[in-house]
Amino acid sequence: MNIRGRRKTHLAECRRRIPYSTGADMYFTALISELALSSRGILKEAAMTSETSTSHPMTSAEDLRKRALELQLLEMERSEKIKAREAKKHAEFVEDFFRKQIGETERAVIKRLVMKAAADGKYEALIYSFPSSFCTDSGRAINNNLSGWQNTLQGKAKELLELFEEVARPQGYGLKAMIINFPDGMPGDVGFFLTWEPPVE
């Protein structure tokens, strides 16, 4: 039963016990009893609130520091895994670049890139890219558009140039090489662009 219900019951009980009291006496007696009942209800609610607060104490600073350290360790572990994957990926790319030849899959990709660019109304397509550090001069000749940059190529880049000279140039295509990004202000990747611009008359 809630507090309001208990008040009504208590008031009725007071009236039953004092049948010969005057109206004023009866009123004050009931009022005092009601106040006492209300006080008991308030004290009970306060006690319940106190128990709730005690059962959920504030987290200590030491616990917070431990939690922060755990999160930092998890983030470090995650970063190390990402770095390991990137290092493995780079090592595989280097192995592929210097040890293997351009296969049918790569030729199909190049053809698809060229057809997509032509369909978009463009006259060139980025068909291949590789780190400038793979050049014998780290991309200096390409970055400065110096003659003889072709002689600085190695691995698949050199093979792709030879393939271009054998297959694409006789069909009227052109090939240009340029640095396509500059991380921290330094030459990054070299991009090979196959071009089919109309001849200048």
Q: What is the pLDDT of residues 134-158, one digit of tens each?
A: 999 999 999 999 999 999 999 999 9
Number of Cβ within a 10 Å radius of residue 5:
9
Sheet holding 189-195, edge to edge: 124-131, 189-195, 174-179
- Structural domain including 77 reads 62-100
Pick the closest to residue 174 from 192, 190, 156, 157 (CA basis).
192
User: Which residue is associated with the tokens 């209300």?
Assistant: 38
The verdict on 190 and 113 lying in the same domain is yes
More confident residue, 175 or 79: 175
Tell me how far CA of residue 128 lies from CA of 1, 82, 92, 123, in angstroms.
81, 25, 17, 16
SS3 198: coil
The verdict on 113 and 166 lying in the same domain is yes
Number of domains in the chain: 3
The verdict on 138 and 174 lying in the same domain is yes
Q: What is the pLDDT of residues 84-133, one digit of tens each?
A: 887 777 666 566 666 667 888 888 888 889 999 999 999 999 999 999 99
